[in-house]
Amino acid sequence: MENIPGPNATWAEIEAFAVTFNGYARIGPRLGELASHHLRNGTIPSTLEELRGCLFLEQRRWRHQMSRPDERGLAHIRALIEGIRAAKDEPRQSLE
């Protein structure tokens, strides 16, 4: 978790961090609905595990489209990263 991308991280740095957490294995079938809900509403999850899962799924989504995130997508991704940074020190939510 010490390699959380900074505010000016490149897409490559964000992708490398995002895939260090397998959202499919950790969250399961509800991951897609969870991520879609937050993207659609412009919100982010409240738990570290869900934040990591949504970031993982965003990476997978953009990779599947074979493109880089657009402005809206990148803003959401950066919000997820900032949420991860804020939540990482909460002992009840530690993923390590």
Q: What is the pLDDT of residues 55-66, one digit of tens each?
A: 999 999 999 999
The per-residue pLDDT for 92 is 57
| Cα separation, 46 vs 38, whole angstroms | 11
User: How many CB atoms neighbour CB 45 within 10 A?
Assistant: 21
Please say if the pLDDT value at position 35 is more than 70.
yes
The predicted structure's pLDDT at residue 88: 84
Rounded average pLDDT over 46-60: 96
What is the average pLDDT score of the chain?
A: 91
Tally of CB atoms within 10 A around 19: 14
pLDDT of residue 94: 46
pTM of the predicted structure, to 2 decimals:
0.88
Q: Measuring CA to CA, which residue among 52, 65, 69, 61 is closest to residue 17?
A: 52
Q: Please, are residues 3 and 83 in contact by the beta-carbon 8 Å criterion?
A: no
